Amino acid sequence: MSEGLPPPEADHGASTWRPKHNPYLVAMVVTVATFMEVLDTTIINVALPHIAGSLSVGTDESTWTLTSYLVANGIVLPVSGWLGRLMGRKNYFLLSIIMFTVSSLLCGLSTSLPELIVFRLMQGFFGGGLQPNQQSILLDTFEPAKRATAFGVTAVAIIAAPIMGPTLGGWITDNFSWRWVFLINVPVGVIATFAISAVVEDPPWAKAGAGKGKRNIDVVGLSLIAAGFACLQIVLDRGEQEDWFSSGFIQAFGVGAVLGLVGAVVWLLDRPDPIVNLRVWKNKDFAIGTLFISIMAATLYGSAVLIPQLAQSQLGYTATWSGMILSPGGFMILFMIPIITRVLLKKFQARFIVATGFFLLGIAMFYTGTITPQVSFLNLMSMRLAQTFGTALLMIPISTVAFASVPREMNGDAAALYAMSRNLGGSIGIALVTAYLTQRSQVHQAYLVEHLSDLNMGYQMTKQAWMNGLAGHGLTPSQMDSSALGGIYRTLVRQAAILGYVDVFRISGVVAFCVVPLAFFMKSTKAAPKPAAAE
């Protein structure tokens, strides 16, 4: 039996407990709150230039509003299960949504960048507890046979929200003000608070564990987790701007991340009653599930950053229109959820669905790798739809298998570690694709520059075509020559960047294909959760 868990005979009334309210009503209420929090991880991205201008700071400085949120979020995610036990899960969920709403209001009223960063830290800290606690509530509220439906509800918040965030953020920013990106959370948060208070309840086993650890808070473990994840998130989020490990700033935080996280693992495994129970990873299905969800998040979020970036930087799209490319993908996921939960999971083993999902995701990435400088809006939208179709086949089956044999007493820690793995995978994916894009674009530019020679017939013809187009504009021959060279160079840089995007999408496809055979290591059948504690 796992240390720190109640013995199997400690039923706490669980065998007869049923939620007082309809499980689907509970799911809807807790998902609204989580959807709002996850939306805030991407909705602000397109508003950064407006924030920088309004607060009279540089665009690079304004990105700290993103970093601060992600740092605070990363710290609280792994310990959210412990916080739920400390305060009571419903109380912690209510505190999180209330303070997230208050922080959103303060962000919208900020008058300076330091104020906004502090309030974003608060927002990330209190918002970090919503994702794993939502999943824990759904795990306990739904019967084992209906858990796929519960994970379908979770997928709405986890997958659809970040996809729809840039579109909504762009529309709000273009038509109102960047402040409304935050202020829109206030009425939603107020409604969610009253609804959660009315319909959500803690099950007997959660009540039995509430308050545990109040007297002996693991300060060392908590400090190591906070320091390690804070440093790691800064490395991932600021690495590209600081030129990665050629910067002393990134080197220092990289060392801090390694020392903090390694120290945390060693410390927590040695504790009889750890603040985060890492022993849940002894469950093979849960361990494989967290690995797969990390890879899925890295691919999904990485491409979600690249496509709007491509549209705005290379194709001249506005924030709203670049977001519109992603939005249909969110609706694709919403359309697929009932098909997966009501049809596919009942007819096919989850591992076959996961293998198919990664295979289709790989094909979609290679399809996206066919982009050219002349790619149309409809083509970009179809590429994103193809990506989200494959992704939709992953989230629910992976979650179903991952939690199938996790004891209910460990649901809190399991949900926290699962959410942490997903978010960390997304952050790593974004960092890797951004770095690889820069590196490959520079490589392609170096190769293309070799062709800018008067000895190259293609270059001569292109230059002459530019000069013919400039004729009649009243320019001197030297001015026409200079303008032609400038135009050719801009074209070269753009083509090098497009080729860089092609490389990133193709390598993402290769990664997806490599995961396909690993899917068959998952359970061959859908197992019902064990009612007793871990052995």
* Pairwise CA distance, residues 426 & 257, whole Å: 17
Residue 452 falls inside a structural domain: no
CB-count exposure of residue 487 (10 Å: 0-12, 13-18, 19+): middle
User: Are 222 and 201 in a shared domain?
Assistant: no
User: Are 299 and 256 in a shared domain?
Assistant: no
Residue whose token pair is 């998130």: 233
Residue 486 falls inside a structural domain: no
Q: Is 2 helix (H, G, I), strand (E, B) or coil?
A: coil
* Pairwise CA distance, residues 251 & 506, whole Å: 30
How many Cα atoms are found within 13 Å in the side-chain-facing hemisphere of 477? 0
User: What confidence score (pLDDT) does residue 2 get?
Assistant: 40
Q: Where are the beta strands (DSSP E) in 100-242?
A: none
Opening angle at CA 357, ends 352 and 358, nearest 5? 105
User: What confidence score (pLDDT) does residue 3 get?
Assistant: 40
User: Are 80 and 152 in a shared domain?
Assistant: yes
User: Are 269 and 282 in a shared domain?
Assistant: no
User: Are 248 and 113 in a shared domain?
Assistant: no
Contact 158/395 with Cβ under 8 angstroms? yes
Residue 472 falls inside a structural domain: no
DSSP label at residue 129: T
Report how far apart, in Å, the C-alpha atoms of 502 and of each of 295, 377, 382, 495, 496 are: 20, 17, 16, 11, 10
User: Are 392 and 369 in a shared domain?
Assistant: yes
User: Are 223 and 142 in a shared domain?
Assistant: no
Residue 57 falls inside a structural domain: yes
Residue 67 falls inside a structural domain: yes
Which residues in the chain come in under a pLDDT of 70? 1-19, 45-46, 59-60, 144-145, 157, 159-160, 163, 204-216, 319, 453-460, 463-481, 484, 524-535
pTM equals 0.75
Element (H, E) at 180: helix 180-183
User: How many domains does the chain contain in total?
Assistant: 3
User: Are 412 and 509 in a shared domain?
Assistant: yes
User: What confidence score (pLDDT) does residue 510 get?
Assistant: 92
User: Are 302 and 359 in a shared domain?
Assistant: yes
- In the listed set 228, 248, 274, which residue is the last one of a domain according to the structure? 274
User: What confidence score (pLDDT) does residue 471 get?
Assistant: 66
Range of the domain at 325: 277-437+503-526
Residue of 185, 183, 175, 186 lying closest to 50 (CA atoms): 175
* Pairwise CA distance, residues 396 & 342, whole Å: 12
* Pairwise CA distance, residues 443 & 296, whole Å: 28
Q: In whole angstroms, what separates CA 6 from the centre of its chain?
A: 34
Residue of 407, 417, 92, 411 lying closest to 268 (CA atoms): 417
CATH number assigned to the domain comprising residue 82: 1.20.1250.20
Q: Which region holds residue 88: left if phi is over 0, alpha if psi is between -120 and 50, else beta?
A: left
Q: Name every residue whose Cβ is closer than 8 Å to that of residue 176 and which is 6 or more positions away in sequence.
A: none
DSSP label at residue 283: S
Read off the tokens for 260. Answer: 């903090």
User: Are 310 and 290 in a shared domain?
Assistant: yes
User: What confidence score (pLDDT) does residue 463 get?
Assistant: 67
* Pairwise CA distance, residues 21 & 37, whole Å: 24
Count CB-CB contacts under 10 A for residue 111: 9
Residue 64 falls inside a structural domain: yes
How many Cα atoms are found within 13 Å in the side-chain-facing hemisphere of 78? 25
Residue 467 falls inside a structural domain: no
Count CB-CB contacts under 10 A for residue 28: 14
Residue 354 falls inside a structural domain: yes
User: Are 51 and 186 in a shared domain?
Assistant: yes
User: What confidence score (pLDDT) does residue 360 get?
Assistant: 92
Q: What's the alpha-carbon Rg for the chain, to the nearest Å?
A: 25
User: What confidence score (pLDDT) does residue 366 get?
Assistant: 92
User: What confidence score (pLDDT) does residue 8 get?
Assistant: 45
User: Are 419 and 515 in a shared domain?
Assistant: yes
Q: Is the dihedral of CA 446, 452, 456, 459 positive or negative?
A: positive
